[in-house]
Amino acid sequence: MKPLKPDQLRRMTIQELEQELDKLHHEHYRLRVQQSIRQLKDTAALRIIRRNIARIQTILNEKRRQNQ
């Protein structure tokens, strides 16, 4: 999993960002389950996903504020 670039995310629509956010939430849940049963090899993936979620939420808030 790679970190998402903010400029790449800003080009996406609100709907695309929400879909990506939903996908990342599911992936984060899956990785947490793997970690809890000691099957997770790449522990850095959790950190990257959490940061990607935060990036998307920040950009979604920016876009929503612009539309008001």
The ranges assigned to domains in the chain are 6-67
Chosen CATH of 6-67 out of 3.40.50, 1.10.287, 1.10.357, 3.30.530: 1.10.287
Cβ neighbourhood burial of 52 (10 Å; 0-12, 13-18, 19+): buried
Confirm if 20 and 60 have CB atoms less than 8 A apart: no
Q: How far apart are CA 68 and CA 63, in angstroms?
A: 9
- Whether the per-residue pLDDT at 54 is higher than 90: the answer is yes
Q: How far apart are CA 23 and CA 21, in angstroms?
A: 5
For 6-42, the pLDDT digits (tens) are 999 999 999 999 999 999 999 999 999 999 999 999 9
- Which pLDDT score is estimated for 68? 82
Q: What is the pTM of this model?
A: 0.93
pLDDT band at 1 (very low <50, low <70, confident <90, very high): confident
Q: How far apart are CA 44 and CA 35, in angstroms?
A: 11
